[in-house]
Amino acid sequence: MNFKLLFFGFILFSISLNAQTKSDNNAELNKLIETFRISIIEHNDFEKFSNLFLHDTISWGAIPTGETKKNLLKKRPGIAFLTSNYKSFFEGLEKGSEEKFYNVEIDVRDEFATISFDYSFIMNSKILNWGTEYWSLIIVNNEWKITSVTWSQNMQQIEACPF
């Protein structure tokens, strides 16, 4: 009988430990999202922004979709995606830049995570582009690091943001 009680206690402890870890991870990942967002708005601390990423050559690419893709293909046939890096992104930011996040979903699996959300990229209170964004992350030295950023891109002047 004691063995069954001990085993049941161990199972409950494991479940609560897993829930605690998942909650902690979600809180850390939400903080990372907020640091990313604020870094765009303040645009004054590249080191803080670059510390969010695993290294400076992570995947960083956009896929034009919808009417934006049709329009782009007319101008540049054969283009399938746009690529850059977070350094160029940060350097290209101007005062009045902001990225807003909607419908954020975080999926943590051990030391891997994905974050997906709808976004709108804003300049001086006007939406420039919008779409869906995906981040892949891993834990390195007890810190979450972004390993890739991919997103769909729809230009506001071609098709209005639905959110």
Mean pLDDT by 10 residues, the chain (163 residues): 54 45 86 97 96 96 96 90 95 96 97 97 97 98 97 97 94
Supply the DSSP string of 36-78, one letter for each residue. Answer: HHHHHHH---HHHHHTTBSSTT-EEEEEE-HHHHHHHHHHSTT
Question: What is the pLDDT, as a whole number, of residue 6?
Answer: 54
- Rounded to whole angstroms, the Cα distance separating 108 from 137 reads 9
- Rounded to whole angstroms, the Cα distance separating 160 from 117 reads 18
Helix (H, G, I), strand (E, B) or coil at 122: strand
Question: What is the pLDDT, as a whole number, of residue 21?
Answer: 66
Which residues, at least 6 apart from 85, have a Cβ–Cβ distance to it below 8 Å? 56, 57, 58, 60
Question: What is the pLDDT, as a whole number, of residue 79?
Answer: 84
Question: What is the pLDDT, as a whole number, of residue 11?
Answer: 47
Question: What is the pLDDT, as a whole number, of residue 15?
Answer: 46
> Distance between alpha carbon 40 and the CA centroid of its chain, in Å?
13
